[in-house]
Amino acid sequence: MTATMKAFRLTEWAKPPRLVEVPVPKPERGQILVKVGGAGLCHSDIGMMAMPEAAGRMAGWNMPFTLGHEVGGWVAEAGDGLKGVAPGDPVVLVSAYSCGHCQFCLSGHDNSCVETYAGRGYGRDGGLAEYVLVDSPRAVIKLTSLDPRDAGPLSDAGATAYHAVKRVLPKLTPGSTAAVIGAGGLGMFAIQFLRVMSPAKIIAVDQNPNRLALALASGAHEAVTGVDTFTSAAIKEHSGGIGAEAVLDFVGNDASLEQGLAAVRSVGSFALVGAGARSIAICGPISPRTVSCSPSRAARSATCVRSSRWSRPGWSRTRRNASRSARWRRPIAASTRASCGAVPWSRRTSGNKPAHLRERQVRASHCSKNHLDDCWAI
Closest CA to 202 of 242, 154, 212, 162: 212
**98 forms part of the interface with Zn ion (CB under 5 A):** yes
Of residues 98 and 218, the one with the C-beta less far from Zn ion: 98
Measured distance CA(195)–CA(83) in Å, rounded: 38
Q: How far is the CB of 252 from Zn ion (least distance, A)?
A: 14
Q: How far is the CB of 115 from Zn ion (least distance, A)?
A: 6
**239 forms part of the interface with Zn ion (CB under 5 A):** no
Q: How far is the CB of 121 from Zn ion (least distance, A)?
A: 8
DSSP strand pairing (348-350 vs 329-331): antiparallel
Q: How far is the CB of 353 from Zn ion (least distance, A)?
A: 42
Q: How far is the CB of 302 from Zn ion (least distance, A)?
A: 12
Contact letters (x/-) for Zn ion, 111-130, by CB under 5 A?
Answer: --x-----------------
- Residues 138-157 touching Zn ion, rule: CB under 5 A, are 156
Q: How far is the CB of 342 from Zn ion (least distance, A)?
A: 20
Handedness of CA 48, 185, 134, 373 (dihedral sign): positive
Contact letters (x/-) for Zn ion, 260-299, by CB under 5 A?
Answer: --------------------------------------x-
Q: How far is the CB of 10 from Zn ion (least distance, A)?
A: 15
Of residues 85 and 102, the one with the C-beta less far from Zn ion: 102
Of residues 156 and 245, the one with the C-beta less far from Zn ion: 156
Q: How far is the CB of 263 from Zn ion (least distance, A)?
A: 27
Of residues 128 and 298, the one with the C-beta less far from Zn ion: 298
Of residues 65 and 310, the one with the C-beta less far from Zn ion: 65
Instruction: Reply yes or no: is the peptide bond before residue 227 cis, omega within 30 of 0.
Output: yes
# chain residues binding Zn ion, by CB under 5 A: 9
Q: How far is the CB of 61 from Zn ion (least distance, A)?
A: 15
Contact letters (x/-) for Zn ion, 21-50, by CB under 5 A?
Answer: ---------------------x-x------
- Residues 295-334 touching Zn ion, rule: CB under 5 A, are 298
Which residue type occupies 64? P
- What's the 3-state SS for the chain? CCCEEEEEEECCCCCCCEEEEEECCCCCCCCEEEEEEEECCCHHHHHHHCCCHHHHHHCCCCCCEECCCCEEEEEEEECCCCCCCCCCCEEEECCCCCCCCCHHHHCCCHHHCCCCCCEECEEECCCCECEEEECCHHHEEECCCCCHHHHHHHHCHHHHHHHHHHHHHHHCCCCCEEEEECCCHHHHHHHHHHHHHCCCEEEEEECCHHHHHHHHHHCCCEEEECCCCCHHHHHHHCCCCCCEEEEEECCCCHHHHHHHHHCEEEEEEEEECCCCCCEEEEECCCCEEEEECECCHHHCCCECCCCEECCCCCCECCHHHCCCCCCCEEECCCCCEECCCCCCCCCEEECCCCCCCCCCCCCCHHHHHCCCCCCCCC
Of residues 104 and 310, the one with the C-beta less far from Zn ion: 104
Measured distance CA(277)–CA(251) in Å, rounded: 9
Q: How many residues does the chain have?
A: 378
Of residues 181 and 273, the one with the C-beta less far from Zn ion: 273
Of residues 155 and 259, the one with the C-beta less far from Zn ion: 155
Residue of 32, 48, 67, 105 that binds Zn ion (CB under 5 A): 105
- Residues 154-213 touching Zn ion, rule: CB under 5 A, are 156
Contact letters (x/-) for Zn ion, 45-74, by CB under 5 A?
Answer: ------------------------------
Q: How far is the CB of 149 from Zn ion (least distance, A)?
A: 18
**99 forms part of the interface with Zn ion (CB under 5 A):** yes
Contact footprint for Zn ion (CB under 5 A): 42, 44, 98-99, 102, 105, 113, 156, 298
